[in-house]
Structure 1
Amino acid sequence: MEINRRQFIAGLASSGIFTSALLPLAKISNASPATQSSPPAFIAARKDKSGHYSAAVLDDRGSILFSERLNDRGHATTISPNKKLAVVFARRPGRFALVLDLLNLKKRTAFTPPEGHHFFGHGFFSNDGKLLYATENDYENERGIIGIYDAADNFKRVSQIETYGIGPHEALLMSDGTTIAVANGGILTHPDYPRQKLNISTMEPSISYLDARDGKLLSRARLPREFYQLSLRHMAESGDGTLWIGGQYEGSPTDSLSLVASQRPGKQILPISDPKTYIGMNHYIGSVAVNASGTLVATSAPRGNAIALWNSADGTLAKTIQRQDAGGVAGFGESFVISDGSGNLWQEERAIHQNSDYAWDNHLTSL
């Protein structure tokens, strides 16, 4: 019987969050049938039936090459350009980031944001791999921040820039190498009220474009006022430079609207497809990914048990894959690999791997 990921992962672990970048993560056995001759292909956070969280590095068959215990629930992972390092971020309002050495299959270090900040679960490297950028909540000042960390100096924090919005969730470096796109979800939160949304009636979701060199705001796009409760959260850039965005709707459950949009810098945010396309997706897009050529975009709807594949050139729906509680999706060549809450990995409709002792979390990252 399939187990719903949100039932399986419900609640945060009671163990403490990091208070120092030097505090070690709990250890977990690295035993695996795979060998180092199988190169890493995917990374994802997970939870086992004993309630332990971990980050797992997998080969292209889904076999575990290495895993490391997390003190709390993880969210998304980013990979360095040379594919030597991976950084796994805590789920909001977590305060840890775990750095994995993908060459030696071991933990390298862990670090935290400054006091008064927490991570939103996403980040990215500069093109030269020297800097790591992480979305953060400066919750006392009610503003979004991107923290900048020196990857060559044990991920010491060196600077920060504003996102010009509240609740920056995912941010990415666009293909020009200098423009940062940020999905400001618009939802005000505070760790004293860990999962509460404090400003639903006054949300202002937006997409900000920043200059990575100096943090200057290049442009910002907002949704039409009637869609102000569509929190913009996850993104991917398609092959033609268009940003694809997945939303999480905080309005009435009976409302009908598009949950996926596209946008180019300086232009309006445009809905993808008719609202009827999203019937049954329960107002929630969990992940957005593109294939290697950028011609296909995948969006997951784990609450609706569906993955939608879109043609990036014209925004048409290529196909929908029905998959129970499938949240993670990652490009894998010209296709996609999908992870779900029952421990399964799929290459679209084809099963790759299954281990029901674990539930995969929201995101899957491919190397």
Structure 2
Amino acid sequence: MVLSRRQFLLQGGAVALSLALPLPSRAAVNGKHASLLAAWQLPTAVYQVGVLSWKNTRLSTPYTIDSAVDLPTRPHGLMHLQGDEYLVIARRPGDWIMRLNIQTGDTARTWQDEDRHLNGHSAVHGDCLFTTETDVLTGQGVLGVRHRETFELLDVWPTQGRDPHEMLVLPGGVLGIDEPFLLVANGGIQTHADMGRTQLNHLPMDSSVVAMHPRTGRVLNQWTLRDSRLSLRHMAVHASGVVGIAMQAHHAVEADQEAAPVLALLDEQGLRPVAESIGVNGYAGDIATTPEGFVISCTKNDSAAQFDLQGKLLNTQQAKAACALASRGGEVWLGHQAGEDKNSFALDNHWLLI
């Protein structure tokens, strides 16, 4: 169902969307108009995806809603496919992929096979669409290899870990690899087919970052951290070739959780945690690049933080339930909860500049 802006406001009543703030940076913040593809949940518990227009304004809610489409369950990853077409992927354990044309509002949905569930992210390379998935029976992580246009499943490749989450398509010459490759973050969390998102934290985690050949699935390299309780989740690549990885800690002891770093950096020298990224309750939501390095949203600590390429903390900003991030040059859009209004609706984890 596609709603016009007027219909959306009439049906939503006096709702207030999460705020978007330009996060301070050493680069200039110009506050230009932006259009963002985002997902959210209404007070009625309905999930939607749509286009937001954002303007630099003193108003508490600087958005207008250009369009909205109802979703069957909670979404997670958003990805540009081609032209006006974008993909929306169900949150893990997910069972649908939706193609959305942001100009016409047309949608087409593909349902997932029962023997694997979707983990919320995708990437395209050549004629293929790749989706991160988990084998329901074995718990092993896999990539679903699909036809880019029809979404027909062509192959399934193991990711050499559990709970694969976000992936990037990187060019040759990055991370010491000569040819283009897929970079996959194995979150490492063990789950069970009959228990949905329930995490079996008493079992060993299997978290890693894996470089894979985009035509054969061959593993080109794999990196791990010493602390096996750090789940590698979301990634962004800087123009320098350094990859920033947002992490979520899963320690049994509260003190260990609080002391856990939530940002790791990957370059030709290897994968290393950022020591200055501790003290945020062990949880980083999204990540984006800035000219200086990276910005991460620390959802459980109600803040966002910027780091340079060496891992030095540059600045922080308080933002309740900080979540979605997008950046362009020196400007960053940070989504977070606006006040305590029970009628407001919640922005989801990710959004895209369009």
Measured against the shorter chain, the TM-score band is 0.7 to 0.9
Secondary structure at the residue paired with 1:326? coil
CA contact (8 A) 2:52 2:65 kept: yes
Which residue of the partner structure matches residue 190 of structure 2?
188
Contact 1:136 1:145 in 2 (8 A): yes
CA distance in 2 between partners of 1:30 and 1:191 (Å): 39
Asked if 1:366 corresponds to 2:336, the answer is no
Distance in 2 (alpha carbons) for counterparts of 1:40 and 1:335:
11
In 1, Cα distance between the equivalents of 2:153 and 2:237? 27
Runs of 5+ consecutive residues of structure 2 not aligned to the other structure: 9-32, 56-62, 173-178
Q: Quick check: 1:142 aligned with 2:107?
A: no
Q: Name the CA distance, whole Å, in 1 between partners of 2:107 and 2:45.
A: 24
2:104 aligned partner: 105
Question: How far apart, CA to CA, are the structure 1 residues paired with 2:106 and 2:34?
Answer: 14
Amino acid at match of 2:210: S
The alpha-carbon distance between structure 1 residues 174 and 120, as it changes in their structure 2 partners (threshold 3 A), is same
Match of 2:326 among 300, 317, 330: 330
Shift of residue 116 of structure 1?
Answer: 0.8
Per-residue deviation, 1:113: 2.5
1:174 paired to 2:170: yes
Give the secondary-structure state (helix, strand or coil) at the position aligned to 2:86.
Answer: strand
Number of matched residues?
314
Q: TM-score, normalised by structure 2?
A: 0.82
Gaps of 5+ in 1: 1-26, 345-353
> Aligned AA for 1:57?
V
Letter of the structure 2 residue corresponding to residue 125 of structure 1: V
CA distance in 1, matches of 2:335, 2:288: 13
One-letter code of the match for 1:363? H
d(CA) in 2 for partners of 1:213 and 1:162?
14
Q: TM-score, normalised by structure 1?
A: 0.79
Q: Tell me the SS of whatever aligns to 2:5.
A: coil
Q: CA deviation at 1:66?
A: 1.6
Separation in 2, partners of 1:107, 1:101 = 5
Aligned to 2:234: 234
Whole-angstrom distance in 2 between the partners of 1:175 and 1:83: 22
> After alignment, is 159-168 or 189-198 more displaced?
189-198
**How has the CA–CA distance of structure 1 residues 342 and 159 changed in structure 2, closer, same or farther, with 3 Å as cutoff?**
farther
Question: Do the aligned partners of residues 191 and 223 (structure 1) sit closer, same or farther apart at CA in structure 2, a change above 3 Å counting?
Answer: same
Who is 2:123 aligned against?
124
Give the CA deviation at 1:200.
3.8
Q: What is residue 212 of structure 2 aligned with on the other side?
A: 210
1:41 maps to 35
Question: How do residues 232-311 of structure 1 correspond to structure 2 at under 5 angstroms?
Answer: 232-251=232-251, 252-255=253-256, 256-264=259-267, 267-274=269-276, 277-279=277-279, 281-291=280-290, 294-311=291-308
- Residue 289 of structure 1: how far off its partner (Å): 1.1
**In structure 1, which of residues 133, 137, 162 is the aligned counterpart of residue 158 of structure 2?**
162
Superimposed CA distance per residue, residues 234-253 of structure 1 (whole angstroms, 9 cap, x where no aligned partner): 11111111111111111021
1:238-286 superposed Cα distances (whole Å, 9 cap, x missing partner): 1111111111111021111321111125x43212133xx421x111011
Aligned-pair CA distance for 1:157:
2.0
The alpha-carbon deviation at position 152 of structure 1 amounts to 2.2
Give the structure, 1 or 2, with the largest relative contact order (CA under 8 Å, sep 6 or more): 2
Q: Which deviates the most, 248-257 or 52-61?
A: 52-61
Q: Distance in 2 between matches of 1:315 and 1:145?
A: 31
In structure 1, distance between residues paired with 2:44 and 2:7? 22
Q: Is the 8 A contact 2:319 2:337 kept in 1?
A: no
2:338: which partner in 1?
342
Query: Once the 2 structures are TM-superposed, how far is the Cα of residue 119 of structure 1 from its aligned partner?
Result: 0.8
Q: Give, in whole Å, the separation in 1 of the partners of 2:235 and 2:180.
A: 17
Deviation at 1:125, TM superposition (A): 1.8
Which residue does 2:49 correspond to in 1? 55
Separation in 2 of the partners of 1:200 and 1:330?
A: 35
Secondary structure class of the residue paired with 1:303: helix
The answer as to whether partners of 2:122 and 2:132 remain within 8 angstroms in 1 is: yes
- Please state whether the residue corresponding to 1:254 is helix, strand or coil: helix
